[in-house]
């Protein structure tokens, strides 16, 4: 028996860049309020806006889009330190991501004050609303209550289709719209799931040297659901 017959091609994962600008943000009813508010900068109702939404709902893309517009520095909430505060605020607007992962309340309190003193702006993101963050410092809690909150909801079918089409296009992979319709009806309803399925299908197609088909998609989904 020839063990070298029909070897599976190893996937060559080519670098691709996901488009994360303001013009690349896909808007439907589920995220329209957040998109309109964030991109209306600097005409915000308050200097600090907080965007809440589930995992993979597009919060980081919105931050990237706002940074493109405003020139804001971006920092993870858990990485906020006293040493970073002057650098973040002096450069102008600030975006702090993923408050639900935890943060030092004293550092955050100083950041709120610094943004106010500089007459600047700040964009916050979290999977949880401010009231669910269990903030212990009373003055910081009052600062959060003064922010303008806006929510991104779970993606609808239209957004999932638009996102999957964009993700395949970012990878320069052509797929039939009926395949995307098929996937949207069967994947978990999250942008994280959409991104994961696109990546896995792309890798499988590269490994097999074939196009992405419904049969391939069906087998992948069966494996993911096991």
Q: What is the pLDDT of residue 175?
A: 92
CA angle 93, 153, 25 (to 5 degrees): 55
Q: How does pLDDT run across 143-177, given as a tens digit for each residue?
A: 999 999 999 988 889 889 988 998 999 888 989 99
**Mean pLDDT confidence for 42-51:** 97
**Mean pLDDT confidence for 54-75:** 91
Exposure of 215 by Cβ count < 10 A (0-12 exposed, 13-18 middle, 19+ buried)? exposed
**Mean pLDDT confidence for 55-80:** 92
Centre a 10 Å sphere on the Cβ of residue 130 and count the other Cβ atoms it contains: 19
C-alpha distances in Å from residue 205, one per residue of 12, 162, 217: 10, 21, 10
Per-residue pLDDT band for 13 (boundaries 50, 70, 90) equals very low
Extents of the domains making up the chain: 31-151, 157-225
Q: Give yes or no for residue 16 having a pLDDT over 60.
A: no
Top-confidence residue, 224 or 24 = 224
Q: What is the pLDDT of residue 2?
A: 40
CATH of domain 157-225: 1.10.8
Q: Give yes or no for residue 70 having a pLDDT over 90.
A: yes
Q: What is the pLDDT of residue 6?
A: 39
Average pLDDT score over the chain: 88
Q: How does pLDDT run across 89-127, given as a tens digit for each residue?
A: 888 999 999 999 999 999 999 999 999 999 999 999 999
pTM: predicted TM-score of the whole model, two decimal places? 0.75
3.40.50.1470, 3.40.50.300, 3.40.50.2300, 3.40.50.1820: which CATH number matches 31-151? 3.40.50.300
Cβ density class 179-200: b for 16+ within 10 Å, e for less? bbeebbeebeebbebbeebbeb
């Amino acid at each position: 028996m020839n063990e070298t017959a029909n070897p599976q091609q190893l996937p060559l994962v080519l670098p691709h860049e996901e488009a994360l600008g303001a013009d690349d943000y896909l808007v439907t009813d589920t995220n329209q309020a957040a998109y309109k508010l964030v991109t209306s900068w600097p005409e915000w109702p308050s200097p600090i806006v907080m965007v809440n939404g589930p995992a993979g709902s597009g919060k980081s893309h919105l931050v990237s889009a706002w940074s493109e517009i405003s020139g804001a520095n971006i920092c993870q909430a858990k990485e906020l330190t006293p040493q970073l505060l002057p650098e973040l605020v002096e450069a102008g607007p600030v975006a702090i991501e993923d408050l639900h992962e935890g943060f030092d309340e004293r550092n955050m309190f100083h950041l709120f004050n610094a943004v106010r003193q500089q007459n600047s702006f700040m964009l916050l993101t979290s999977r949880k609303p401010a009231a669910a963050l269990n903030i212990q410092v009373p003055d910081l809690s009052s600062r959060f209550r003064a922010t303008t909150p806006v929510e991104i909801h779970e993606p609808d079918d239209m957004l999932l289709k638009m996102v999957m089409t964009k993700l395949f296009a970012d990878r320069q992979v052509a797929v039939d719209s009926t395949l995307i319709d098929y996937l949207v009806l069967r994947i978990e309803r999250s942008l994280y799931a959409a991104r994961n399925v696109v990546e896995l299908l792309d890798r499988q197609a590269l490994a097999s040297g074939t196009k992405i088909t419904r049969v391939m998609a069906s087998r992948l989904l069966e494996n993911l659901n096991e």
